Structure 1
Amino acid sequence: MSEKLLVKRPIYPVIGLLASVLIIVFGIITAKDVACIYFLSAIWLLLLFFGYWRACLAVIPVAVLASAVLAGITYLISGDIQSAYAAVNRILAVCIAVVPGLALSPIYLVRNFSTLKLPRMLTLGMMITLTFFPLLGGEVRQVREAMKTRGAGSFFSPQIFYRAFLIPLVIRLVNISDTLALSVETRGFTKEADACSVYKTVTLCASDIVFLLAVLTGCVLVVAL
């Protein structure tokens, strides 16, 4: 995720993860209902109100493009406008559900897991997962910039793609994985390690409860109506 999308005071991480799951589940279940689009719009506005405006705006282009493509394919295959509408709602549900994660710093989530005394292997695995994709994106950009600097040629040529892009990228990722493994080993990370203190513990606030109750209310209403 980009640091530009991070919020100063994100929602309590566990509540954010739970909200994301609820949005996806209820968005998919009610995808064919007219009320689904109102439910997703209300959740988007709720996230906007809680300070996630950068992430909310960032997902709009992806949601529009993915919805148009998937809805078009669905309509061409089925010829049913209702199926195309449901496909749009499913894409929107996924795009809105990722907003809390886009604006959440990995270290904030790790602190939350550590505060809750969750297994350290789970904490480390979650942090590596959250940081991998931004790291991969950065490495891809660096390799492509190196290709432009060397004048390697067209990125879409199979030979150039393999020799000038894929091989350097794989080598860089292998080096990064070796460095990460060495870092974990030198820091004495083990599953049986003693309990450690948490720097800047993550606390549950009243606003977090309000957010969760608002999401739960929306889930109940979209099913009831």
Structure 2
Amino acid sequence: MKKATRKEIQEIHKRFVERYSDAVTELKYKNAYELVIAVALSAQCTDKRVNIIAPPLFEKYPSTKELAVAELDDVKKLINSCSFFNNKAKNIIKMAQRVEEVYGGEIPMDEKELQTLAGVGQKTAHVVMIEYLGANLMAVDTHVFRVAHRLGLSDDKTAIATEATLVKKFKNDLHALHQGMVLFGRYICTAKNPKCDECFLTDLCKSKEGFKV
């Protein structure tokens, strides 16, 4: 597959920022605590599903203080329609415990500090900071990975490597580009039967012949 030229990269950047400059996550949350949990739950689970299961969880455990002393089985029951709910239940309780013990009940808005929390890796930390702070960071999920490859922006084999490539090529407005690429991949440049007739990047697409990504 051909790689995008520097001029094409600039044009892709411009179009995404113009269209998605005000884009935000589709996860519903009221504060940093709810956002971290919602993002953690969304791993390999749809935002729609998280938005269904999260409100009862937040109602019963409105902050890290309550969640830190929650019964594991109760949390499992509340999120059991989410993928990998056993591990996620353990992690969000451990996360709450660390936030209480180390950060006084306040979610740390720092990339390295966030990654000390159970279940929070680089991607989750970046998504949280992009959404909450508008941080100039990139995070690569399945949608961003697919879009980046179809547009010839990356031929990397992993999400982490793809993220580094996108940061290097785009540099600025990364928060808008991340949100835009997620929504574009979710609703237009879909894995199966992409809606090419609705696409605003068809002239820049490198995958018209196959859609193998």
TM-score over 0.5 for the alignment?
A: no
Q: Normalising to structure 2: TM-score of the pair?
A: 0.29
Specify which structure has the higher proportion of helix.
1
User: Relative contact order, CA 8 A, sep 6+: which one is greater?
Assistant: 1
Q: Normalising to structure 1: TM-score of the pair?
A: 0.28
Q: From the CA coordinates, give the structure whose radius of gyration is larger.
A: 1
